Homo-oligomer: A and B are copies of this chain.
Amino acid sequence: MSDPWLTSLMTETPQAGYELAIKLSRMGVKYTQPSDEIRGKLRPVYEKDADSLIASSHVVAVNFQTVSVANNYWRS
């Protein structure tokens, strides 16, 4: 992808870090399936599948580990 979408792992707050982890997780899907149309068709399916939702949360958790270390856990 030529557009810049990830210039830093630093965030102001843990919540912004969690939301960056969600973005990272979605980009992992987008790199494999770049078509907005196809991803749009898949969304209503996995959004109503408990196991898909748990699996999505799992990916976010892994990315949140990365973002959390990068930010030194937002320790004050």
A residues engaging B (CB < 8 A)? Answer: 1, 4-10, 13-15, 18-19, 22, 24-29, 31-33, 38, 42-43, 45-66, 68-70, 73-75
Contacts and interface: CB of A to CB of B under 8 A. Distances in A.
B58 A62 contact: yes
Contacts of A45: 50
Contact of A32 (B31, B32, B47): B47
A6 to B, nearest CB: 4
Q: Is the interface of A mostly helix, strand, loop or mixed?
A: helix
A52 B38 CA distance: 14
A20 to B, nearest CB: 10
Contact of A48 (B38, B53, B56, B69): B38
A61 B25 contact: yes
